[in-house]
Amino acid sequence: MLGDKYIAIDMGSYSTKVILATKKGKKISVLNSITYKTPKGTVSDGGIIDSTKVKEELEFQLKKNKIRCKNVLFTIGSSATIIRNVILPATAKKEMQSMIRYELEKHVPIRLDEYIVEYEIVNKFKDNDVDKIEALAVLLPKNIIDAYWKLAIEMKLKPIGLTTHYNAIKSLFRGNLLASNKEASDASEIVYSSNELLNSCISVNNAPEKSTIALVEIGHEHVICNIIENGKFKAYRMISAGGRNVAVTIANALNISVEEVEKRKLYVKRTQNKESINTTEEKVIEEATKNSMGNLIDQVQRFFTFQERSRAIEGIDRILIYGGCAYFDGIVDEFKRVTEIHTEILSFSKNVRFTLQDINKDQNLFHNTIGIVNNTGR
């Protein structure tokens, strides 16, 4: 028997990812998955700019692909997301929200009434015999959230939930839904989180349980970095770089438009496009991609270095990359070369099942949509 059915949507300025999925217990079944190019100028940095065009295209795609369901979930990747750690005296749960908001108002230069604030307790400790807690607060502008809610209502759908990419990947981690690429074919070797995310440890390809792992999502316009130390999410950073930068670099090198680069997909899996490009062009693409990716990875490395120098972490044992641009030719080797850290592509464990029609699709695009489905029914 299938569990509740959901449409989960992840809208980017370049592409939109949609799945139809069910969740039963700890298992998720993806019944259908689609990606399509987001209408130009309708979504920016996770926010809906032109709701009419977004609605028209989404309705067309759902109808075209026979995706029928009322329950809808949204996941958002936006640089407007604010994540802060807050240290407080231990207090009753009913007082926690107001105390966290008070601390945020002192240290974050924003109008807090314009944001939705969610938090979780990540640590409890004593400081000079005083019980204290460490809370991790996630803030997202209300106007972004309201636009998605309005979209769902206008489409006569039932909005069930909305979360950030940050929370979506945490949900995957917590739910035993992740594996490194090498492990994906043999779930018996996967050792992942226990029932409590924040008390869990992760073991990938025989890495020590007490280890520090960087999860790096490489999208079209942004790179999102999460650092997990001994099962606890320690640091977050969104970097304004991604596949778009690679496309621009290639376009400039070949003296063609960015649209032409993206149409011909010259920067992804180039070995599959050899019939459409000549040897000289291929060399130019390879060099431009390597330079652009090198710059992107340099920014990620600087984030890692800052965390180490500020003593937030002691070091990183492993990098796991995912997202639509994680399959660029040579990106794993380039990460290893620049960071000198073992790098693998993040995949799904056998707790995530794709139907036969979706098994050959680029599953690396759907981590965030599957993550929010896992958030349901908890």
**pLDDT tens figures, 145-182:** 999 999 999 999 999 999 999 888 888 877 767 766 54
Domain at 82-141, CATH from 3.30.1490.300, 3.40.50.300, 3.30.450.20, 3.30.9.10: 3.30.1490.300
Q: Residue 272: its pLDDT value, please? A: 45
Q: Residue 129: its pLDDT value, please? A: 86
Q: Average pLDDT in the 23-49 region?
A: 92
CA quadruple 370, 320, 235, 16: dihedral sign = negative
Pick the range with the lowest mean pLDDT from 4-8, 52-56, 184-188, 320-324: 184-188
Q: Average pLDDT in the 229-243 region?
A: 83
Give the chain's radius of gyration (CA, Å): 21
Joined together, the tokens standing for residue 168 give 């979506």
Q: Average pLDDT in the 69-96 region?
A: 90
pTM value?
0.82
In the chain, where the domains are located: 4-78+143-170+353-374, 82-141, 180-350
Pick the range with the lowest mean pLDDT from 36-40, 54-58, 84-88, 299-303: 84-88
Q: Residue 203: its pLDDT value, please? A: 36
Q: Which residue has the higher pLDDT, 289 or 272?
A: 289
Q: Residue 295: its pLDDT value, please? A: 87
Could you tell me the fold of the domain covering 4-78+143-170+353-374? Nucleotidyltransferase; domain 5 (3.30.420)
Q: Residue 180: its pLDDT value, please? A: 61
Q: How far apart are CA 187 and CA 112, in angstroms?
A: 44
DSSP character for 341?
A: S
Under the banding of pLDDT at 50, 70 and 90, the label for residue 275 is low
Buried/exposed code over 198-207 (b: 16+ C-beta within 10 A; e: otherwise):
bebbbbbeeb
Domain at 180-350, CATH from 3.40.50.1580, 3.40.50.1100, 3.30.420.40, 3.40.50.11810: 3.30.420.40
Pick the range with the lowest mean pLDDT from 204-208, 229-233, 362-366: 204-208
Q: Average pLDDT in the 282-306 region?
A: 86
Q: Residue 361: its pLDDT value, please? A: 60
Domain pair 4-78+143-170+353-374 / 180-350, same fold = yes
Q: How far apart are CA 124 and CA 300, in angstroms?
A: 30
Q: Residue 319: its pLDDT value, please? A: 93
